[in-house]
Amino acid sequence: MQDQAAASWAVLVFDMARTGEPDGERLVDGFASLEAALAYAEARVRGSVEELREPGQAPDALRRLWHMFGEDCVVIGGGYSGRDALDRYIARPADAAETDWPSLAPGAAPPRERRYYAAVSVSDRNPPPGRRFVHLVDWLKAASRPSRAELLTHFAGAARAAFARQGVADVELGEAGVVHLFELPDPPKPPADGRPERRWAVEVDFVCDDVKFGSTTGAVFAWPERPDGAALDAMRRLVVAAMLSMRGDGPEFADGSRILATRVEETDRPVTYD
């Protein structure tokens, strides 16, 4: 058994479709802790299950496919084998965050933070007659799509304050019901060429025919020179996506929107998207 104080841990990956072949096994080593190796192994096995899952598929059919074409992982000295948990993985589908094993590999770059617009309804666990809840909205950053539990943690302070304004000082928060949860496009990344960044206010007039809505919106971006071309296009797409997310339509409608006018001015206001 591997010493718990060992310098690193390793995961042995089995390609079930190539069992017995020279390249049917692969050792991934260099994990700094047992927990890191376990997280990688479980995410990789779950990812191989989800790649084979199809709508309406019977558990036995998915199990047979996994044994023929999936990937199994064993944490050397860690007491974990993916096949031992296979029935559990088949019974509960995993989301993207639970199968993102490449980001858990040793030496992987830290996951990028994504920006989300969330609209939630937080309930009172012990309400009076008639359901009592508060509606809240906010922007937040996270490495992956936030769960309901994570949203409740994010909105807990605002929810308690909202209940207090209703005269409920000792509320016991129930759950966060997700009304909208939209991921925004990334802002353009300034070129890493040593030039100092300046701040630019980008204002856009647009119309989205798909949702019969038009408006003016904008934000402040960091860029070394007056933005144009692909950089300006990305900025416009982002501000339109943000506006359509706040309306509840969703950021995908930005791609079908028509830009009527764009105004770009240097400013000393703080950057909106960093």
Question: For the segment 140-185, what is each residue's pLDDT rounded down to a tens digit?
Answer: 998 778 888 889 999 999 999 999 998 888 888 988 899 999 999 9
In a 10 Å sphere around its CB, with 0-12 CB exposed, 13-18 middle and 19+ buried, how is residue 81 labelled? Answer: middle
Task: Read off the pLDDT of residues 26-40 as tens digits, 9 standing for 90 and up.
Answer: 999 999 999 999 999
Q: Taking the model in full, what pTM does it have?
A: 0.63
Question: Strand, helix or coil at 139?
Answer: strand
Q: Please give the single-letter amino acid code of residue 274.
A: D
Give me the pLDDT at residue 86, please: 96
The rounded average pLDDT for each run of 10 residues, N- to C-terminus, in the chain (274 residues) is 60 84 80 94 95 93 95 95 96 89 85 89 82 91 85 94 89 90 92 92 98 97 96 97 97 96 98 88
HSE value, Cβ hemisphere, 13 Å, CA-based, for 236: 22
Fold of the domain spanning 198-266? Ubiquitin-like (UB roll) (3.10.20)
